[in-house]
Chains A and B, each alone.
Chain A
Amino acid sequence: MERTILHIDMNSCYASIECLHDPSIRDFPVAVGGDVEARHGIILAKNEHAKKFGVKTGEALWQAKQKCPNLIIVPPHFERYIRFSRLTRAIYSEYSNQIEPFGLDEAWVDVTGNTKLFGDGDALANEIRERVKFELGITVSIGVSYNKIFAKLGSDYKKPDAVTVFTRDNFRDKVWPLPAEDLLYVGRATSKKLHGYGIHTIGQIAETDPRALQGWFGKCGLVLSAFANGDDTSPVSLAGDEAVIKSVGNSTTTPRDLENDEDARIIFYMLCESVAERIREDGFFAKTVQISLRDRDLSSFERQLKLETPTCLACELHTAAMQLLRANYSWQKPLRSIGVRATDLIPATSPQQLTMFEDAQKRERMETIERTVDDIRRRFGHYAIGRAITTTDKTLRNINPKEDHTIHPVGFFKAV
């Protein structure tokens, strides 16, 4: 049976929510910006008025101010965004049990089973759009289609406060002329390569021989071909079917640029402690450690390393992270932000192969120590106890990675 899938996108989510809560700023250009002092000074979201001035998400606050001197910049209130995310999902859940969130402000909803009761996808989408506007005071744009990819394109096609329907009959006229970059998984690198082959629109991707795409992009080429042709058959996952945790990571933009190994050592300790604490909390061991580095010019890369023995220890994650850093970075430029991620997670209960050359008892003792630190922090707060090394640099130490950064981007293939 043909599916009916909605993709619902809260328009300028953070900015709309801030404007709703403060009517006095609503009619002016408003942007939600990170903390300038802590150097998270970028635009996180902007409202329609600010958009007219060319203010863009991700640019520095001072750049935005240049384009729009009267821009009102408000700090983010993540607890509000999480509340609104929960409230919108509560509305969606009245229409389907298949709700797959994509970040805080987007979700797919499969309403196939409901179209007999409430009318076709278009009517349902409009009902949801009106309800969100009335009940939550913010607008959404909704894409309706027979697959998740086109539904997502639809929610982007016309906004704010609109519904777009892509059917098997009209997608060639409507979807295919869109630029290739609009397609999920066509990022900067892919689009550059596509342009090199003279491919600029989604239609051109669709009409390219999948084998050629495979030759250029590997497996991903076939995926792109399927996406562009509307042949995506991935299901909308069930609500409450929370994605299995595949990795735990933390990254931070530091209060000042990092200049050398010693600086990185401090930050990596903080990040590794937070990552280790969370994998212990969730009952995992990690088999692989990944670091991400971003330099002052914002170019970034990642490297990873397989561990000899799975671990939940901050000190072992840290050793691996430093090893990766030394092997892959020679400080041509100072670093602006760094991150650590533990992946390849296995349950903490899985049997472990001990090695002859390692002191297993010592590792157990380390684990007891780290768990004790977790306990102390839980009872008395994050700053109640810390490594001596983190006190050596005053500007760097004021970050609490575990509690400060709990919203993470997600990938489309997370459940695959």
Chain B
Amino acid sequence: MAILEGKNVTKRFAGLVAVGDVDFYLKQGEILGLIGPNGAGKTTLVNVIAGVYAPSDGDVYFKGKQISGKKPYQIGRMGISRTFQVVRPFPGMTVKENAAVGAMYGAGGKNKSAKEAIRRAEEILEFVGLADQMNKGADQLNVASRKRLEMAKAMAMDPELVLFDEVMAGLNFSEIDQAVELIKKIRESGMTILIIEHVMRAIKNVCDRIFVLHHGEKIADGAVEEVLNDENVIKAYLGKRYKELTH
């Protein structure tokens, strides 16, 4: 059964159609890659799922329940967490406190005291490999660590579905490989993942399925190899030389 499902999702900004009539679904436990050129509406779609925007038309369902129109914090507590493309840690807090806030208020936070949440945050930071930087201020981290913290914050919420919005942008090759490993590890822990990414190296490595947006419309949806060889996708996004470069 689909854990997340969108039907005819449309988001218009004063006439501009950012996302137009898009259908999508995510199966329990899968990693779906969302790709497309800049301005295709990827982040808008994530914002619609996460409740930052209510869709202008259409509906989003999480585990069969309608979530479109709910507030971001309500959706976060139901079990969907997200990262921000431009990372948004709480700069005045330590790394540990950042993750702890996620643990306190996320899906698993209801029965946790502040102390239990802090312990949970420590576990998560261990998991993502930030344990040694736990007591640093969040504003003292480098880019790669900030992206990791952003992921830790989302995971500390104990979600069933995470939306990763370009968590690898700005990383070097070895950092990307580490991030890919981390995402695989996260999947093994039982979470379903939607990942927006421009880094093809990562997309090819982790995704079970790819979904392509162009000018707010879905132009392809299917297995990785199939989509990456699709005429339309190559024309709209990957570029003619993509095959020469990768093969």
Do A and B pair up? The answer is: no
